Structure 1
Amino acid sequence: MASGPAPVKPAGAAPRHPARAAVRILAAQGWPARIAAFAVAAAILGPLAAVIRHAGGLSGLGPGDIEALWFTLWQAAVSAVLSCLLAVPVARALARRRFPGRGLLISLMGAPFILPTVVAAMGLVAVFGRRGMVNAGLEALGLPGITIYGAQGVILAHVFLNLPLAVRMVLHGWQAVPSERLRLAAALGFGRAEVARHIERPMLRAVLPGAFLAIFLVCLTSFAIALTLGGGPRATTVELAIYQAFRFDADAGRAAALALVQIGVSVVALLASLALTAPPAFGAGLDRADAPPVRGARVKDALVLGAATLFLLLPLATILLRGLPALFDLPPSILRAAGTSIAIALGSTVLTLALALPLALAAPRARWAEVAGTLPMTASSLVLGTGLFLILRPLVNPVTLALPVTLLANALMSLPFALRLLMPEARALRADYDRLAASLGLRGLARLRLLDLPRLARPLGFSAGLAAAFSMGDLGVITLFSDGQRQTLPLALYQLMGAYRMDLAAAAACLLMALTFALFWAFDRIGQNADPR
């Protein structure tokens, strides 16, 4: 029996094999991700190669450098341990109590995470410094005062900055425990000891190692805190030693050797954090949030939350009270520095998203995209700046490129955070919409505009807010490249503190805080408003 003529496929009709079409679309869309991955790899591996080439081994390191390495390791470990230990009672109180303003309190407690570190250091000096309220109270009681400068100040500042991060990580662990487990424990008559043994401790054993290693890695590469509160032979970190070798000793070889040490330590800590972090094995629940109320310990929980809130918010309130009256006395140079910081933050945010978005879209089916986005975690901004300085010095005066290099370094340092925020939503997007998009012939810029960007709007906005906030508060690369004429607002604030012009420094800190939180809020709000859901 003869068959009829084959039907003519109308123009623009959907392809017959959506799965094959999806593969072709992914192959076509893979080029932006490959370009982004190549750009990130070149921007990270190039400076690292320059550091390795100029280091000439580690033979140039002296006893002071070994002491700086030891201080870097133990202060990071102590800071991480204290942050995690203090986070447990705070997260427990937040998990088992419901009260008006709880959500606002959780949001306010997260403020130090995006706070510029130089502002945090200034706030802690206002509270714990020689003329701070703590020493004033001790003097009134006839007790000896305390000093915030040195190892104790560095650790205190790191706990202040990282306690909110630890609280959120532990709180997420508590919220991941199915309410059915808690109801079963209540039905069996479990007391606090039994609940702690069978529910809380297994969760903490799964969550705390990851929290510890994340904070440890952050404290390893902290520069502004050591610069403002550390110093001296017994309170010098590797980052600070790199800065001193460059700015004061003009010893590029020693700075490169120290940068190589910092790279090695960061890589080991990063690999450990990836290997040791494990999810809790509680199994799935019914997603019911109505866990049974916890009896007793109300006063204890209230005291814990009150103390944590006071510790985290009092330094910020102190800066505001001191800086707001002098806000209109700021010289034009500070306002110019603020404009420079805003321009760098906006440019850094755009570059971060331009790199993170194609990598996140490719990551569900291409492991290399995730690896490329994680590369910046192997080096701090100061190490990256060191490598860029060594590359640029034979070609051009690095000082003339201070601002572009700062913008690039800030974007690269924000990339891993943005990628981690975008990847879960990108995986869900691929799983839910790839076949539909292929059947409709939706590809390229049309897919990006109509599907990808609207569905990723919320994490994109939050990622942009974090990138802008991190860039506004950075005091790393600019310290290596600046000649005093090219200033960002954090650098200008640090110089005011060094000149003991504390009222103007407090006013500049208020301005920096306001701009940082405003940029974060604006980008986050744009993402929320653009979300079609």
Structure 2
Amino acid sequence: MAWRTQPVISPRSGVVAAIAIAALMAAALGAVLWRAEGGRGLGPADWSALRFTVVQAAVSALVSVALAVPVARALARRQFMGRGLLITLLGAPFILPVIVAVIGLLAVFGRNGWISTALGWAGFEPVHIYGFHGVVLAHVFFNLPLATRLVLQGWADIPAERFLLAAQVNADARAIRRLLEFPMLRQVLPGALAVIFAVCLTSFAVALMLGGGPRATTIELAIYQAFRFDFDLGRAALLALVQIALTLGAALMALRLGRGDGFGAGLDRPVRRWDANGLGLRALDAGVITLAAAFLLLPMGAIVANGLAGLSALPNSMFRAAGVSLGVALASAAVLLLLALPMAIAAATGRAATVETAGLLGLAVSSLVLGTGLFILIHPIASPAAFAWPVTALVNALMALPFALRILIPPAREVVRTQGRLAQSLAMPGLSFLRLVLLPRLRRQIGFAAGLGAALSMGDLGVIALFADADRATLPLQIYRLMGAYQMQAAAGGALLLLVLSLALFRTFDWLGARHADA
């Protein structure tokens, strides 16, 4: 196994990239620690923001997972036309820009939305979406698909032989739940709850647009307010430390609770659910799937319907902002690949611990906290607004890096494992192996990772809100400003434009990667 001790391609570049990322993160967090005023302490408003952050994240996680269980059960025991497409659509909210989703939710659940209009016809009061319940509603919209995928995987991990044995002993649906499903849920649900809780702790844009007010302010929103309204860097840094403690604690909890022993291996036979053939259970599953699909797809339909009407009201500033967003997204995708590719190669050739530790930093530190540290570093020597675009592209790349590494490392490791010994026997130089063997076999994954990073960057409303001035707005920030000016028709048109551009970026990179992937 000499090719393992002397790798066919040097991992040096990936190790250097991992060290550079760790150094940048340390510098930003060090600036936050240095600027925080330890003796100052948290005020009443800060404690209120802390309580709201934890409570809304806990409730959002509980509701998302509670709703995901019947949806995942229905998908697990039913086969129907369009099932694969529906499961694929469950991943759409992940790349859907937050501000676009919020506009869609307002169109459906807002005071003048479809549901409020229907309630008004029936003589009921309209829905009030702003505040705590609006934040929870938006988080459930984003995280119900994630929770469903996590729980659905738990059902998929139950070997078909277990269900076959249950059918042989005439176990009914109640016995199946008690003997198979409940034990699986006890293993899967704690980890799913912890993951979604951690995600909801760092949700900035949702709280910015649907929260507001002293009783509906999260820690990240309080950081933004300390910057934009008070320019109190000390308070912002202190709140950033609190946010770091929350996210690190949630990440550790997610890692600890995400472990489980499973049900053992089966023979990979297709699962047949003899226990779910009753008419009542079929109707129940159909109703659950229909309601879940409507909850996820209606806001997207509202975005298209309202956006088409609002395209004619778009000011020229929206198109300039769209150009800025495209430039930032493309730069972010380029930086992402420049970091992720050498790191994936280093992980594939024996430096996995170093690389994966650096890659996980993007999950442990939110973009707003990282932006806070970079703002503190830049502010004494230059105008932070002048660095708005490059900093936004860099931070967005770092936030997408953990996902890119999860996409790239497994196939890179497989290529090195299967082709590395042959390349060494041919005395193939490392650059030739990279150009002729490794990169051609990673084209599909490279395109998918680049598209994901570009789409996430295109819809980001985080760091740019700290750094941008009136002349450097991205499309999400410009849409938010239109909403603040109550120009909702133009904001809806901008949301449709942002949605189309985000999906087009993702699909273009994904198509370029898949094209000639096997060549």
How high is the TM-score relative to the length of structure 2?
0.96
| Equivalent residues of 2:464, 2:474 under 8 A apart | yes
- Of 508, 511, 516, the residue aligned with 1:522 is 508
Deviates more, 1:118-127 or 1:328-337: 328-337
**Alpha carbons 1:180, 1:291 under 8 Å: kept:** no
Is 1:241 equivalent to 2:225 in the alignment? Answer: no
Q: Is the 8 A contact 1:71 1:234 kept in 2?
A: yes
Taking the TM superposition and a 5 Å limit, the aligned residue runs for 1:191-210 are 191-210=172-191
Give the equivalent residue in structure 1 for 2:297. Answer: 313
- Please point out which of 311, 314, 327 is paired with 1:343: 327
Indicate the larger mover: 174-183 or 407-416.
174-183
- The change in CA–CA distance for 1:284 and 1:58 in structure 2 (over 3 A counts) is farther
Shift of 1:430: 3.5
- What amino acid is aligned across from residue 286 of structure 1 in structure 2? L
Q: Deviations over 1:87-129 (max 9, x none)?
A: 1111111111111111111222321121111111111111111
CA offsets per residue over residues 165-201 of structure 1, 9 Å max, x none? 1111111222222222222221221111221122212
* Alpha-carbon offset, residue 65 of structure 1: 0.3
Q: Partners of 2:35 and 2:428 in 1: how far apart? A: 50
Q: Which residue, out of 364, 371, 375, partners 2:357?
A: 371
Select which of 398, 403, 412 maps to 1:412: 398
CA offset at residue 363 of structure 1? 2.4
Q: Is the deviation greater in 427-436 or in 197-206?
A: 427-436
Range 117-126 or range 140-149, more displaced: 140-149
Q: CA deviation at 1:205?
A: 2.1
Runs of 4+ in 1 over 6 A off after TM superposition: none
- Percent identity over paired residues: 55
Cα 1:441/1:188, change in 2 over 3 Å: farther
**Residue of structure 1 equivalent to 2:499:** 513
Structure 1 contact 173–207 (Cα < 8 Å) conserved:
yes
- Check the 8 A contact 2:12/2:346 in 1, yes or no: no
Q: Deviations over 1:253-290 (max 9, x none)?
A: 00000001101111111111122211452111222225
Secondary structure (helix, strand or coil) at the match of 1:483 reads coil
Match of 2:374 in 1: 388
CA drift of 1:344 comes to 0.8
Residue 89 in structure 1 maps to residue 73 in structure 2:
no
Q: Name 1:11's counterpart in structure 2.
A: none
Q: Distance in 2 between matches of 1:381 and 1:403?
A: 14
> Once the 2 structures are TM-superposed, how far is the Cα of residue 22 of structure 1 from its aligned partner?
4.1
Q: Are residues 1:427 and 2:413 paired? A: yes
CA distance in 2 between counterparts of 1:83 and 1:457 reads: 35
Q: 1:78 offset after TM fit, Å?
A: 0.8
Instruction: Return the offset for 1:316.
Output: 1.3
Which secondary structure state, in structure 1, belongs to the residue aligned with residue 10 of structure 2? helix
Contact 1:207–1:280 (CA<8 Å) still a contact in 2?
no
Give the root-mean-square deviation of aligned CA atoms: 1.6
1:23 aligns with 2:9: no
In the TM superposition, residue 450 of structure 1 has moved relative to its aligned partner by 2.1
Q: Indicate the structure (1 or 2) with the bigger Cα radius of gyration.
A: 1
Specify the alignment match of 2:107 in structure 1: 126
Q: What per-residue deviation string (whole Å, max 9, x for no partner) do you get for residues 132-190 of structure 1?
A: 12211222222222210001000000000111111111112222222222222212211
Instruction: Out of 80-89 and 418-427, give the one that drifted further.
Output: 418-427
Matching residue within 133, 150, 153 for 1:169: 150
C-alpha offsets along residues 396-433 of structure 1, whole Å, 9 cap, x if unaligned?
11111111110011001101111122233233333333
Q: Which amino acid aligns with 2:493?
A: A
Asked if residue 137 in structure 1 is aligned to residue 113 in structure 2, the reply is no
- State how far apart, in whole Å, the 2-side matches of 1:279 and 1:58 are: 42
Query: Which residue in 2 is equivalent to 1:15?
Result: none
Q: 2:285 aligns with which of 301, 314, 338?
A: 301
CA distance in 1, matches of 2:237, 2:124: 46
Give the corresponding residue for 1:5: none
1:69 aligned onto 2:50: yes
Matched, 1:231 2:217: no
Give the drift of 1:204: 1.8
Q: Given the two structures, how large is their TM-score scaled by the length of structure 1?
A: 0.93
Give the letter for the 1:523 counterpart: F
C-alpha deviation, 1:502, in angstroms:
1.0
The structural deviation recorded for 1:222 is 0.5
Asked whether 1:354 is paired with 2:338, we answer yes
Residue type at the aligned position of 1:183 = L
**Deviation string, structure 1 residues 299-318 (Cα, Å, up to 9, x no partner):** 10110011011111111111
Distance 1:382 1:44 in 2: 13
Q: 1:361 to 1:279 in 2, by over 3 A?
A: farther
CA distance in structure 2 between the partners assigned to 1:181 and 1:523 by the alignment = 42
In structure 2, what is the Cα distance between the partners aligned to 1:116 and 1:248? 25
Which segment drifts farther, 434-443 or 307-316? 434-443
**1:399 lines up with 2:385 in the alignment:** yes
> Partner letter of residue 50 of structure 1?
A
Tell me which residue corresponds to 2:165. Answer: 184
State the alpha-carbon separation in 2 of the partners of residues 68 and 137 from structure 1.
Answer: 34
Gaps of 5+ in 1: 1-18
- Distance in 1, matches of 2:338 and 2:293, equals 37
Aligned residues: 514
Give the secondary-structure state (helix, strand or coil) at the position aligned to 1:25: coil
Bigger Cα displacement from structure 2, 400-409 vs 57-66 = 57-66
